[in-house]
Amino acid sequence: MLFQAAVIVLLLLIAALLLVQLRRGRQHDQAIADLPGNIEAGTRRLFAQIEAYLSLRDRLGLRQGLPYSHNWSAAADFLKLIVEHALVAKPATIVECSSGLTTLMLARCCEMNGRGEVFSLENGAEYAAGTRAEIARYGLEDRATVIDAPLTSRTLAGQEYRWYALDDLPDRSIDMLVIDGPPGFIQRHSRYPALPLLFDRLADGGVVYLDDAARPDERELVAMWLAQFPAFEHEYVGTERGCSILRLRRNRTRAA
Ligand SMILES: C[S@@+](CC[C@H](N)C(=O)[O-])C[C@H]1O[C@@H](n2cnc3c(N)ncnc32)[C@H](O)[C@@H]1O
């Protein structure tokens, strides 16, 4: 009797193992079947980004090369959104969280507009030096300042964050705020401190662009901002990495 039960258990185990293997095999087959479609979709996305980079380069006349880095640079569809806004709204003061291609393009927009300046908060000394070199190469030093802003400890609503030191940021009304740092991997809700710490400096009608807004972490922090600052109107744009645009209407809270 005991022997029969043991055989049955053994057979059941073997059957379960076979089922798992079969399932794995099917998933593997499906992954192989999906491969051409996935490669095609990836290639299409890549070409769209390359085309957008080239059109930005031509539009802005940045023909001596772009400081593009595959892992770190903002995607071209996000750059297009901020460039479009900068050329149409002609902001006087642009503040940026993290420097790079964004700084160069926004500085060039200011030059084309004949007005405006970019102040870029940068925690990485090497990044800061690299961006300054690009700005100098294009002769845009009057239009962009990269500020050495190490990440320092801040406590906001009982939570501790590491965020840019603001000691060297000039005390100006901010018309456009571009948030592409600090990187998400250094802490939860990494970019959350931007609005609690800069809200009072934002001009009425000022616009905030948040990159990587498709990530769950960024979606959460946008919800936190909107709950804390009801004077913002929020628009989500489905770029490759997602972009949240927040427009400040200071009289919205008074009217509500
Ligand atoms: C998020 S991307 C920003 C790209 C930029 N806006 C552009 O379009 O080129 C790079 C930023 O990540 C920061 N960074 C990279 N590695 C880091 C690390 N390990 N810890 C903290 N910050 C880091 C860099 O200092 C830089 O500010």
Per-residue confidence of the chain (256 residues) as pLDDT tens digits?
Answer: 666 666 677 777 788 887 878 788 888 888 888 888 888 888 888 888 888 889 999 999 999 888 888 778 999 999 999 999 999 999 999 999 999 999 999 999 999 999 999 999 999 999 999 999 999 999 999 999 999 999 999 999 999 999 999 999 999 999 999 999 999 999 999 999 999 999 999 999 999 999 999 999 999 999 999 999 999 999 999 999 999 999 999 887 654 4
- Note whether 125 and 90 are same-domain residues: yes
- Note whether 38 and 75 are same-domain residues: no
Specify if 27 maps to a domain: yes
Q: Which domain holds residue 26?
A: 2-52
| Single-letter amino acid code for the residue at 214 | A
Which residues are CB-contacts of 141 (< 8 A; sequence separation ≥ 6)? 135
Q: Which DSSP string corresponds to 168-231?
A: TS----EEEEEE--S-GGGSTTTTTTHHHHHGGGEEEEEEEEEESTTSHHHHHHHHHHHHH-TT
Specify if 61 maps to a domain: no
Contact 217, 172 (CB under 8 A): no
186 CB near ligand 1 (under 6 Å): yes
Q: Phi and psi for 226 in degrees, rounded to 5?
A: -65, -35
- Note whether 128 and 79 are same-domain residues: yes
- Helices 101-113 and 2-60 pack at an angle, to 10 degrees, of 30
* Token pair 């809700």: residue: 189
- Note whether 17 and 88 are same-domain residues: no
Residue 133's CATH number? 3.40.50.150
- Note whether 173 and 198 are same-domain residues: yes
Protein residue with least CA distance to atom 27, ligand 1: 98
Q: How far is the CA of 85 from the centre of ligand 1 (A)?
A: 23
122 CB near ligand 1 (under 6 Å): yes
* Token pair 């005991």: residue: 2
Q: Is 59 left (phi over 0), alpha (psi -120 to 50) or beta?
A: alpha
Q: How far is the CA of 123 from the centre of ligand 1 (A)?
A: 8
Contact 98, 141 (CB under 8 A): no
Q: How far is the CA of 51 from the centre of ligand 1 (A)?
A: 24
- Note whether 46 and 148 are same-domain residues: no
Contact 227, 195 (CB under 8 A): no
- pTM of the full predicted structure? 0.86
